Amino acid sequence: MGSAGHEGNAAVAAALRPTDPALLHYRSGAFYCLRAAQAAGEFPPGPPPAVPDDPTAEPATSATEPGVPAHSPAAHHEASDRAAQGATDPGVPQPPTSREQRSDLQDKGRAWQESAPPGADSYQDLTPAERRDDAADSHDVDAVLLPDGAGVTVDADGDATVGVPGLPSSSLDDAFAGAARDVLRGMVASVEEPIAGGRHKVFGRADLAVVPTTSTIASHLPRAVGLGLALERLRRGGRRLDGDPEVASWPLDAVVVCSFGDASVNHATATAAFNTAGWYDHTGLRIPVLFVCEDNGLGISVRSPEGWVAAMLRSRPGIRYFDADGTDVVASHRVAAEATAWVRRHRRPAVLHLRTVRLMGHAGADAETAYRSPAEIAADVARDPLLVTARRLVAGGYASGEELLARYDERGWQLRRIAEEVLDEPKLTTPVEVVAELAPRRPARVSRTVADAAAHAAGPGAGARAEAFGGKPPELTGPLTLAQSINAALADGMLDHPQMAVFGEDVAAKGGVYGVTKGLRDRFGVARVFDTLLDETSILGLGLGAGLAGMLPVPEIQYLAYLHNAEDQLRGEAASMRFFSRGAFRNPMVVRVAGLAYQEGFGGHFHNDNSVAVLRDVPGLVIAVPARPDDAAPMLRTCLAAARVDGAVCVFLEPIALYHTRDLHADGDGEWLAEYAEPGAWADRHVPIGRARVYGVGSADDLTIITFGNGVRMSLRAAATLAEEGVGTRVVDLRWLAPLPVADIIREASATGRVLVVDETRRSGGVGEGVLAALVDTGYVGAARRVAALDSFVPLGPAARQVLVSEEAITEGARTLLAR
């Protein structure tokens, strides 16, 4: 997929700072090259233009500000036609077109050097107004024909030249060549490619503030919104993750830019991002994000209906609308600079609609002649931004057609040479190389982080902790339920991580549907515990952006069934970030999800969802399922520490039916409650990722039951029944569904030679399949049997018992296995 026809996005890069985070789509080669030149100090950005003061500039339109006139496409085309025809405008100074005028320009350059304003080292240091006045006096620069990046320089001999971004110097050529080498390395999967290292073809580089995105259908837009919201929070006094060089740092006045195509406007993730940005703007919260829609009129072969994209983008409440002809780099730069300045000044979202063309098909072997007429293709070729720019430079007298053709040919051969060089660069050749950056685990550092948190809570932070808990910390309140233990651990996490934020539907004022986050907002304030709009894609997008900004986000998905609406934000965006950036970028996150079945008399499928296969299929994702209160707190501390240390993406799946369970064997026995550990015991009770918990019932020599979640309680009850029959059982609580505790599984299975897998998820794609596969892969030769839920959605009411695992089914399964 190439950038031909979209090269005008270089003007967008020129309007931004090289430190503004950019999330780019696949047609962003020109943007990337120009940003590389900016970062190298070779492209003169100049001060942002004060467009409202420019008599030649046209006003922008805003979907949220009625009465503001729109940019006129006709006016843009008229200005371009005047430039191409060399027409003169009495009110606008023209560029030099004759030897005499160029001689005057040289004299002007020398004079300007002698009379430059204090502190101005070059023409670039003039304000736009000063440049226009200067140009009007000497007719040296046309404010319409040249972007603000152009200017006058004088060499050692006193010869003045006009510096035009389209006619780079040799050092600028080198910067562009280096960027082109990056792009070509991505195309040939070279390990030297600077961001993905041969894993994917993406635009990205940490030192260019270009965050890699792996999709062209707008799945990165929710992250951009989240990053903008997080940057604004940090600008207003929030805290980043401290002391870790792996954590990206962004300027607090940065503008987030994200680009996408016109067809992506129709995608659900784009709609979610626009809606979230507008929703927060409507509530008064600021999000400095610039959406850039590059509209070439096609989604592969499907045409965007005439006027649809503009109508859709204009109609988004809370998002200011700007538009320009994306094939005209001068108009694009002027409007992009205005849009960027507006977003940076107001810290509010805007969309820049660039009308452009797509040349040479969609990608690969796509033959556009199958769905486009020759006349239509020829019309687009005439609007090629390279040709439009060339015509403008020739008409303005800055270069001849022969000079530009020679430069074009020279660049072509230069790129051929670079391509031949990168073809021979090494590729990834081993599985270890490929997965090295997928999800690195540093358990020793995670353990130390938990120990440090304990030491702080017991020492310097003891006073703040006592105050946060109202003088009665949870270890002094008696046995807690699962929900209470999670609540206390969240509070301790907030105390230990000032950059941690808890958010989601109903988590703040209400304290969550099940009261798990009750009281957190009152203790830590609305900036750190807040309600979101009801959209899971946006909730996860906020988390993705917050993690990228250096925060520690803990978003909540209210029910597991709701996660499936937004799963790609975890699969395609969150879990892939380290993989496709070799660790240069990461999005630490702990996603709390209330889920699994067994809620009596409540909900049906959406509130009793037992499907986790979609999560277990995501490479590198950590999935924790605490069943007992005394596991919940240490497992949550481990997830928070892993997110902070390794940038891990964790899903903390909380069994709803066990939230408020108090008893195990008999009513009133309180055996499902547990004391909350005091900080001094946190290190000793640390639960590493991928380690199971084992309960011995009776002799524990006859049978091994491997389970998790609700299955733990049912299996312990079944084991008690079997113990009365003289059967000794060891019940293994997996605790972690990814990565599975394989070593513990094999050890405990081998101890008895009989394994019963109790899987409350479905038989097809359920957790049990992974456990049995692990046993087979490691050479287990004993007996094995599985009890699992049926391949069915969970129905309402008592009918649920017909498809879910029961205590009786576990007992009968064990007896059958023992009878072999």
Name the 3-class secondary structure at 697. Answer: strand
Contact 751, 779 (CB under 8 A): no
C-alpha distance from residue 263 to each of 298, 301, 352, 573 (Å): 7, 10, 15, 20
Query: Amino acid letter at 15?
Result: A
How far is Cα 460 from Cα 396, in angstroms, rounded to an integer?
69
How far is Cα 80 from Cα 412, in angstroms, rounded to an integer?
27
DSSP codes joined into one string, 304-369: PPTTHHHHHHHT-TT-EEEEEETT-HHHHHHHHHHHHHHHHHH---EEEEEE----S-SSTT--GG
How far is Cα 228 from Cα 742, in angstroms, rounded to an integer?
41
How far is Cα 241 from Cα 274, in angstroms, rounded to an integer?
28
**In degrees rounded to 5, what are phi and psi of residue 277?**
-60, -45
**In degrees rounded to 5, what are phi and psi of residue 740?**
-65, 145
How far is Cα 468 from Cα 124, in angstroms, rounded to an integer?
54
Burial degree of 396 (CB within 10 A; 0-12, 13-18, 19+): buried
Beta bridge partners of 654: 594
Query: Amino acid letter at 171?
Result: S
Helix pair 170-187, 401-423: axis angle to 10 deg:
40
How far is Cα 591 from Cα 691, in angstroms, rounded to an integer?
20
- How many secondary structure helices (H) and strands (E) does the chain include? 28, 22
C-alpha distance from residue 664 to each of 545, 668, 672, 673 (Å): 42, 9, 5, 9
How far is Cα 577 from Cα 544, in angstroms, rounded to an integer?
10
Contact 152, 160 (CB under 8 A): yes
- For residue 817, the Cα-to-chain-centroid distance in whole angstroms is 48
362 catalytic? Reply is no
How far is Cα 186 from Cα 184, in angstroms, rounded to an integer?
5
- For residue 501, the Cα-to-chain-centroid distance in whole angstroms is 17
Those residues with Cβ within 8 angstroms of residue 262's Cβ, 6 or more apart along the chain or in another chain: 293, 294, 295, 296, 297, 298, 299, 304, 309
Range list of H helices, 725-779: 742-752, 767-777
Contact 690, 697 (CB under 8 A): no
- Across 209-219, b (16+ Cβ under 10 Å) vs e yields bbbbbbbbbbb
Pairing assessment for the beta strands 649-655 and 350-355 based on DSSP bridges = unpaired
How far is Cα 432 from Cα 465, in angstroms, rounded to an integer?
44
Identify the residue whose tokens are 């952006």. 545
Active-site residue among 71, 333, 497, 607? 607
Contact 554, 490 (CB under 8 A): yes
Identify the residue whose tokens are 């988004």. 316
- Please write down the HEC assignment for all residues of 136-148: HHHCCCCCCCCCC
How far is Cα 284 from Cα 286, in angstroms, rounded to an integer?
6
How far is Cα 439 from Cα 434, in angstroms, rounded to an integer?
11
Provide the token pair at 37: 């030149």
On the question of a cis peptide bond just before residue 739, with omega within 30 degrees of 0, the verdict is yes
**In degrees rounded to 5, what are phi and psi of residue 480?**
-115, 155
Name the 3-class secondary structure at 260. Answer: strand
Active site amino acids? 607
